[in-house]
Amino acid sequence: MAVERSVGLPPAVQETVRHLHPDLEREVRAALEVLRAFPERGKALKAELDGWRSFRVRGFRIVYRASATSIDVAAIGPRSSIYLETARLLRRRAR
């Protein structure tokens, strides 16, 4: 049986989700529920984003990392820019 984890969405990510088209927002919320139960479903990222995973929702990606008790979402955005933006965001947080 899968372990249910809490999902942590920073305020900026919550704002992003609220401004998505309603159909896409519904799909992103459903994807987050899938990740709560099965965090290994996402693709492991490499290089600067090592330790993070990516889950596809249409042309968008959810970048997250999982622990035994939670799913921590770094960013949600279009595939074309999400990885560069997430790496930039994580570098700023590390300072």
Which tens digit of pLDDT belongs to each residue from 60-72? 999 999 998 999 9
Element (H, E) at 44: strand 43-44
Break the chain into its structural domains and give their ranges: 6-94
Question: What is the model's pTM?
Answer: 0.91
Sorting pLDDT into bands at 50, 70 and 90, what band is 2? low
Q: How far is CA 82 from CA 9, 10, 69, 85, 89, in A?
A: 16, 16, 25, 5, 10
Name the residue type at position 37. A
Name the CATH architecture for the domain at 6-94: 2-Layer Sandwich (3.30)
Q: Does residue 36 have a pLDDT over 90?
A: yes
User: For 47-60, what is each residue's pLDDT tens digit?
Assistant: 999 999 999 999 99
